[in-house]
Amino acid sequence: AEGYMQILSEVVRDTQDDPNQSFGVAPHSLRAINHPLLEEVLTATKNDNAPVHIHIAEQAQEVEGCLAQAGKRPVQWLLRNFDVNNRWCLIHATHMTDTEAVELARSGAVAGLCPTTEANLGDGFFNMPPFLLNGGAFGIGSDSQISVSPVEELRWLEYGQRLQQQARNVLAGDGRSSGRFLFERAVDGGAQACGRRTGRIEAGNRADFIVINTAHPLLHGRQGDALLDSWIFSGNACLVRDVYVGGQRVVQNQVHVHEQQILANFKTAINQLKN
Q: Choose among 17, 20, 85, 10: nearest CA to 46.
A: 85
Rg (CA), the chain: 20
**How far apart (Å, rounded) are the C-alpha atoms in residues 106 and 86?**
10
**Active site residue: 53, 55, 92, 95, which one?**
92
**Rounded CA gap, 238 and 245, in Å?**
18
Active site residue 242: no
Identify the active-site residue in 53, 55, 123, 143.
143
Known catalytic residue: 143? yes
With beta carbons less than 8 A apart as the criterion, state whether 102 and 111 touch.
no
Ramachandran category for residue 144: left, alpha or beta (phi over 0 → left; psi -120 to 50 → alpha): alpha
Question: Three-class SS of residue 268?
Answer: helix
Q: What is the dihedral of CA 219, 113, 161, 153, to 10 degrees?
A: 30
Catalytic residues: 92, 143
